Chains A and B, each alone.
Chain A
Amino acid sequence: MKAFILALLVAVGLPAIAFAQGSAAPQPGQPGPRPGTIVVQPGQPLPPNVRRLQPGDTPLAVPAKGGAQAPELLQPAKPEKFPHGDRVESKLDSKGIPASKPLALLFWAFAAATIGGALFVVTRRNLIAAVMGMVGSFLGISAIYMMLYAHFLSVVQMLVYAGAIMVLFVFVVMILNRPEDEPVAPTGRIGGVIGGLAIAYLVGRLVMILIKVRPPTGEAANLAPGPTSLGHDWGSVKAVGTDLFGPGLFPFEAISILLLVGVGGAIAIARPLHEDEPASTSGADNV
């Protein structure tokens, strides 16, 4: 339990410190064009009131203080010009993002909270501890969403997951109120070794591949996300809502039916089998 509290402190504290440090910087999303301005397609001449992101600007991070610190440009081993018109050579580094130390620290902090919480979930015997680890993980994920300019989704994550679903879990845990007898399934030693090796290999392999992923269109992707065609901020409630009730209307309606069916099904499944048997007592008998 102490470890859990410590982890929670780290998970919440570190981001808080990082936010406090970076509070002077503009909020993510603000460097983009103001609402009402026109959308710039890559390759078009820029209107006078729009400024192109400079090297040193970042879609993820505010410029470092003093702004003049030019990032070290990593040149490819063979700095050939590819003759393809769809690729605009970026002055950014090979990963497409210039360095920003505070933001990087923030990322690592939230990542640590996410991973730590997730590990807490899968290792704890105590169900409440697992649920709390889950909440911590969700907080970290929410912050990561924010770094990805997904403000609305970040808030929804916080509200729906950390707020609603986890409360549901806590209720069920309280109904069950029985610690696991044996937390880990008996897969046997060979199976454990093979499975562990497989997961370890997958982790290593995925890290090796994904860490090198670069944005596909160079400069355009490194622009701070501009407003949508209707002029809403990228990732804002309005922007997501416009998309949701436009092209995504059918999935939205379908998901509403799914939720309805889910609620109905949950009630149908969880109600007592016999009308005379009080459901509330069944879990408590065993305490």
Chain B
Amino acid sequence: MSDILFKVGYGHFLVLAAVLFLIGMGGVLVRRNALIILMSVELMLNAANMTLLTFARMWGDLSAHTFALIVIAVAAAEAAVGLAIVVAVFRGRRNVDVDKLTALRH
């Protein structure tokens, strides 16, 4: 037990990233507010980034840092567009509940 507590290794970082990812996924799964879903997606992206950086450290490969940087940029773009969509949807419908956004269903 003390090993797990005090001997922090790469596994700890990976597990942290995995738990973060799954929390984000849970948020996407159960929440109905589009904003919260967007935030959960951001959480998942960060978990992926964390995994990337852990492996970069593990294998001593710096190119993963570049990759992570690009992921952050993509996340920023995604957030911008996603939020724009949320605003547009809200303007038209007065709510951002994804259960009620059924125009593209079927």
Q: Which of A135-194 contact B (CB under 8 A)?
A: 137-138, 141, 144-145, 147-150, 152-153, 156-157, 160-161, 164-165, 168-169, 172-173, 175-176, 178, 180-187
* Seed contacts A180-B36, A182-B32; 10 additional CB < 8 Å A-B pairs: A114-B20, A141-B46, A144-B13, A147-B13, A153-B68, A156-B69, A176-B96, A235-B62, A244-B66, A283-B91
The smallest C-beta distance from A77 to any residue of chain B, in angstroms, reads: 15
Q: Which of A217-266 contact B (CB under 8 A)?
A: 220-221, 225, 228, 234-235, 239-240, 243-244, 247-248, 251-252, 255, 258-259, 261-263, 265-266
The smallest C-beta distance from A27 to any residue of chain B, in angstroms, reads: 16
Contact of A97 with B8 in the complex, beta carbons under 8 Å: yes
Among A10-18, A45-53, A78-86, A198-206, the stretch in contact with B: A198-206
Contact of B56 with A265 in the complex, beta carbons under 8 Å: no
Contact of B7 with A168 in the complex, beta carbons under 8 Å: no
For the complex, give the distance between the alpha carbons of A121 and B58 in Å: 30
Give chain A residues whose Cβ lies under 8 Å from the Cβ of B8: 60-61, 97, 100, 103-104, 107
Contact of A127 with B36 in the complex, beta carbons under 8 Å: yes
Contact of B7 with A104 in the complex, beta carbons under 8 Å: yes
Give chain A residues whose Cβ lies under 8 Å from the Cβ of B62: 228, 234-235, 239-240, 243
Provided the pairs A114-B20, A153-B68, A270-B87 are in contact, do residues A221 and B15 lie with their beta carbons within 8 angstroms? no
A197: CB under 8 A from chain B?
A: no
Total A-B pairs, Cβ < 8 A:
277
Chain A contact residues (Cβ within 8 angstroms of B): what range?
35 or more
Which of B12, B38, B65, B81 sits near A262, CB closer than 8 Å?
B81
Q: Which of A263-284 contact B (CB under 8 A)?
A: 263, 265-270, 272-273, 279, 282-283
Q: Which of A108-150 contact B (CB under 8 A)?
A: 108, 111, 114-115, 118-119, 121-122, 127, 130-131, 134, 137-138, 141, 144-145, 147-150
For the complex, give the distance between the alpha carbons of A178 and B30 in Å: 19
The smallest C-beta distance from B26 to any residue of chain A, in angstroms, reads: 6
Which of A138, A172, A251, A283 sits near B46, CB closer than 8 Å?
A138
Contact of A259 with B73 in the complex, beta carbons under 8 Å: yes
Contact of B15 with A121 in the complex, beta carbons under 8 Å: no
The smallest C-beta distance from A94 to any residue of chain B, in angstroms, reads: 9
A43: CB under 8 A from chain B?
A: no
Provided the pairs A175-B87, A210-B14 are in contact, do residues A216 and B58 lie with their beta carbons within 8 angstroms? yes
Contact of A115 with B19 in the complex, beta carbons under 8 Å: yes
For the complex, give the distance between the alpha carbons of A178 and B96 in Å: 9
Which of A95, A156, A203 sits near B18, CB closer than 8 Å?
A203
The smallest C-beta distance from B33 to any residue of chain A, in angstroms, reads: 5
Contact of B18 with A207 in the complex, beta carbons under 8 Å: yes
A215: CB under 8 A from chain B?
A: yes
A87: CB under 8 A from chain B?
A: no
For the complex, give the distance between the alpha carbons of A220 and B75 in Å: 33
Give chain B residues whose Cβ lies under 8 Å from the Cβ of A228: 62
